[in-house]
Amino acid sequence: MEKEEQLALAREKAAEANKGNKHSSKENRIWGNIIRKLAVQEDYKRLHAIAEKLYEKAAEGDMSAVKELGDRLDGKSVATT
């Protein structure tokens, strides 16, 4: 097998492997569905309290909270190569 053929085969395999999580369609997002249901049932009070805690932790310098807020507000950054 020539180098070009090997490269083409490697690209095909990589493309197949990188198709992503097949269970993450909007219908299959169980965690998000449960959170939305609880938020509606609780009239958003608990969810608001959680958001406030996240905001407070970010203001205190908790970098994981800062990252989470950034991801929620601006969207997750996309890796480029």
Segments forming the whole domain that contains residue 57: 44-74
Neighbours of 36 (CB within 10 A): 12
CA separation for the pair 81, 64 (Å, rounded): 24
CA separation for the pair 4, 31 (Å, rounded): 44
Domain assignment present for residue 31? The answer is: no
Give me the residue label for tokens 């480029």: 80
Q: Which pLDDT score, from 0 to 100, does residue 4 have? A: 78
Q: Domain count of the chain?
A: 1
Within 13 Å and on the Cβ side, how many CA atoms surround 68?
15
Backbone phi, psi, residue 69, to 5°: -60, -45
- pLDDT tens digits for 35-68? 888 888 877 788 888 889 999 999 999 999 999 9
pTM of the model: 0.52
Domain assignment present for residue 65? The answer is: yes
